[in-house]
């Protein structure tokens, strides 16, 4: 879970920094998207690493959850929680929502087959590429779609707020002195991911970016 999770965290950082080019205007974002798609070796290495990591992460997560349910044998009649965080208690659920989100998101912007009304977005300067900026503005003009993105991102951030610190513990790289700091770091990372990604649908919905 920890190693595959780290790969996904790395991807999220990369994807977030790429996405924020959205705010630098259509030329910059589209040039970046075009550069990515022209570097087939780069994009396919990243894609394959991601697919393998996502699948391994999900299989490990599901078997972990099932094994742990069985080991708990129903638990006590009265349940009391002293310190387990909300994020840690909801990991399987937030993980499944993020999985649903990723499927939708790929169909939405990678395959452009849902929630875009069958529209295509050829780039004016080179119709072989997509005008990613125009696609995002069109995609996020649907308030329902944007709301789904923002809610999923909030749950992803909750997932990360536990996962990022937990990774250090699993790898044996945490102690009582560092636990507090790493927990703060994980929560901060969650907020950065949430605010950074959500800024895109939010700004389109608010009409700041057209």
Binding residues (CB under 6 A) for ligand HEM: these are 12, 15, 19, 33, 47, 50, 98, 102, 105-106, 109-110, 130, 132, 136, 149, 153, 156, 197, 200-201
Smallest gap from Cβ 71 to another protein, in A, equals: 3
Smallest gap from Cβ 50 to another protein, in A, equals: 23
- Using the rule CB under 8 A, is 179 a contact of another protein? yes
Q: Using CB distances below 5 to 8 A depending on partner kind, what does residue 19 bind out of ligand HEM, another protein, none?
A: ligand HEM
Token pair 């005008």: residue: 131
CA–CA dist 124, 102 (Å, integer) = 29
Nearer to another protein, 63 or 143 (CB): 63
- Using the rule CB under 8 A, is 91 a contact of another protein? yes
Q: Using CB distances below 5 to 8 A depending on partner kind, what does residue 109 bind out of another protein, ligand HEM, none?
A: ligand HEM
Measuring CA to CA, how many Å separate 199 from each of 36, 45, 91, 138, 194? 22, 28, 24, 15, 8
Smallest gap from Cβ 78 to another protein, in A, equals: 4
Closest CA to 180 of 190, 196, 192, 169: 169
Q: Are 163 and 186 in contact, with CB atoms under 8 Å apart?
A: yes
Q: How many CA atoms lie within 13 A of 184 on its CB side?
A: 4
Nearer to another protein, 5 or 26 (CB): 5
Smallest gap from Cβ 196 to ligand HEM, in A, equals: 8
Q: Which residues, in sequence order, are bridge partners of residue 126?
A: 123
62-82 b/e with 16+ CB inside 10 Å = b?
eeeeeeeeeeeeeeeeeeeee
Q: Interface with another protein by CB under 8 A: which residues?
A: 64, 67-68, 70-85, 88-89, 91, 162, 165-166, 169-176, 179
């Amino acid at each position: 879970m920890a190693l595959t999770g780290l790969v996904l965290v790395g991807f999220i950082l990369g994807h977030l920094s790429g996405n924020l080019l959205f705010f630098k205007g259509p030329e910059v974002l589209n040039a970046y998207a075009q550069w990515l798609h022209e570097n087939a070796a780069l994009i396919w290495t990243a894609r394959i690493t991601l697919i393998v990591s996502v699948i391994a992460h999900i299989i490990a997560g599901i078997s972990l959850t099932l094994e742990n349910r069985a080991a708990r044998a129903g638990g006590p009649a009265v349940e009391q929680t002293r310190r387990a965080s909300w994020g840690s208690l909801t990991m399987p659920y937030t993980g499944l929502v993020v999985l649903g989100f990723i499927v939708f998101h790929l169909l939405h912007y990678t395959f452009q087959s849902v929630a875009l009304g069958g529209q295509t977005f050829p780039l004016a300067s080179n119709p072989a590429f997509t005008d990613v900026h125009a696609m995002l503005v069109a995609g996020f003009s649907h308030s329902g779609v944007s709301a789904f993105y923002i809610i999923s991102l909030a749950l992803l951030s909750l997932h990360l707020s536990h996962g990022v610190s937990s990774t250090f513990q699993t790898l044996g790289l945490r102690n009582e002195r560092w636990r507090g700091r790493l927990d703060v770091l994980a929560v901060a990372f969650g907020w950065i991911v949430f605010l950074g990604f959500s800024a895109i649908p939010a700004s389109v919905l608010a009409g700041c970016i057209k």
